[in-house]
Amino acid sequence: MKYKKLYETTSAQELNIIKIGLAKREIPYETLYETALQVGNVAALGGRGAIISVPEDKLLMARQVLVDLELVTETQGDSSSGDLFQLFDTWTSAVPLIGKLPVAIRALLLAALILTLLYVQFLFYAEGWG
């Protein structure tokens, strides 16, 4: 059974609330990095927090649990842009140091890198070096 990321939290209390909500609806779940929350201030230590994953076929039900617990405002639909954004998040979260940044910051850094490379290439050919 393939599990997908549902939520990431740096709060042990929030993690326990989510686990209770999922258990009440009999939705199986897995947690990663849960013991890091017991250490203390995970964000100050450079950690990402605990990740809660649920089976792919139960993802929409689990998202509704987060809405009912008022942790998110609405469920995310299965759109192609959401899948692309999730793919970008998965791909960039594996990069050391950068993977710990919020996804929006990672996207801005990637855009800045691409624009810088295009600018350098433009200068290279504009000056007659190439």
Domains of the chain are 1-76 (3.30.70), 79-130 (no CATH)
pLDDT tens across 38-69, in order? 766 555 555 667 889 999 999 899 999 988 88
Query: And the tokens for 7?
Result: 């939520």
Sign, CA torsion 104/109/113/119: positive
Q: Are 52 and 46 in contact (CB under 8 A)?
A: no
Lowest-confidence region among 32-36, 70-74, 91-95: 70-74
- The whole model's pTM is what? 0.55
Judged by phi (left if over 0) then psi (alpha if -120 to 50, else beta), residue 8 lies in beta
pLDDT at 54: 94
Check residue 71 and report its DSSP letter: S
Residues 59, 46, 88, 79, CA torsion sign: positive
